[in-house]
Each structure stands twice: as structure tokens, then as C-alpha cells.
Amino acid sequence: MSGTVRRQAPAAARNRGPILAVLRDWLPAEGLVLEVASGSGEHAVHFAEALPGLVFQPSDPDAGALASIDAWAEEAANIRGAVRLDAASADWPVGAVDAVVCINMIHIAPWAAAEGLVRGAAARLPSGGPLVLYGPYRVGGAHTAPSNAAFDADLRARDPAWGVRDLEAVAALAGDAGFGAPEVRAMPANNLMLRFRRA
């Protein structure tokens, strides 16, 4: 049964190794990690297997994704059952956590989702707790590669509320919610990883 509901995201297979390498440096050695917008669940399983000191709480607003996450996580000891979570909502079904990770969401969602993500993370993280984001960003108002510009145009054609976000706008949003300035790592395929620490 699990094989029939497991979704596979080609991008997850490509980027999970580089992302994990950064998470090893950026996440605490132990504690509870909330992943917002877990999608297929492949990232959560990969990270949990590699980081046994952490417990992962995957989440997604989509019922099909929740089923896929739980199917992938059947044999993982340190992953909790997936919960339905809409980042833009003020009502999150999760209490205090030690870290929040969100991969490839804020450009494929309305800006309200980014606002909700930052607000929700700030309410649940301890002082110094990390909010880690991954995806494409514009820097200084410009795309970092022609492929990102094309991707942005495609996103906005699909939904005008979507699009590659400005790093500075995300940093300002986080700053308003009580996070410090981001640490930034360049990643393959013209993506960035950002770590914000709660003040």
C-alpha cells in the first residue's frame, strides 16, 4: 500500500544531499525539528536517517502529501506522523520546537504564506532557535541566474501571487518578527539556504 501513495519529487533526490550537508552545521544536535511544507516526505526521511539525534515533525496542507509523507516514514523511528499545516494560517497544530525548516515553499505560495511561516516560527522557537529556508531568491533586486528569471516568469504565469522572492524582503519580514540577519549559503542550481536565528 505504501508504494502506491508515495510521491516522488525529482528535485528532492537532487538537492537532499547538499541541503543535508548544511543542516548538519545549522541544526541543533538534538531536539524537535518542524518541517513546513514537507511535500512528498522524501526530505524528512533522508534528514531523519542521517540525523538520529533529532526528531522530525513533517507537515503539509495537502492530504495527498500527508499520505505520502507517512508512507515514506513508515520505518523511520525519529519521524512523527505528518500533520496538516497551512503556513498562512494563524492556527498551527504544533507547539514549541527547536528548529524550523522550510524547503522550496515561499516562491510557490502567496506572500501570506511567508508571513505566516515567519510568524509561526517566531512563536515556537526558543531564543537562538534556527529558521532555515531553501530555494531561489533575488538578491539586490536581481535574479542570480537566467534560469531563475525564467523560473520566476513561469511561476507568475501560473499564479500571479507566486514568484521568486527578494532576499532582502524575506530578511526584513524575519527581522520584524524578532529574528536576526540571515546567514546565507550558496547552493547548487542557483539556490540559497538562509538561517535566521530568533533573538
pTM exceeds 0.85 for this model: yes
Determine which of 3-12, 15-24, 91-100, 101-110 has the lowest per-residue pLDDT on average. Answer: 3-12
Please state the φ and ψ torsions of residue 68, each to the nearest 5 degrees: -65, -45
Cβ contacts of residue 25 below 8 Å, gap of 6+?
none
Tally of residues, the chain: 199
Q: Which three cell numbers stand for residue 82?
A: 505528518
Tell me how far apart the alpha carbons of residues 143 and 137 are, in angstroms, rounded to a whole number. Answer: 7
Cβ contacts of residue 110 below 8 Å, gap of 6+?
88, 161, 162
∠ CA 57-61-63 to the nearest 5 degrees? Answer: 95
Instruction: Specify the CATH superfamily of domain 2-197.
Output: Vaccinia Virus protein VP39 (3.40.50.150)
Find out whether 82 and 60 touch, Cβ atoms under 8 Å: yes
Q: Which three cell numbers stand for residue 39?
A: 511535500
Residue type, 127: S
pLDDT digit string (tens) for 114-123?
Answer: 999 999 999 9
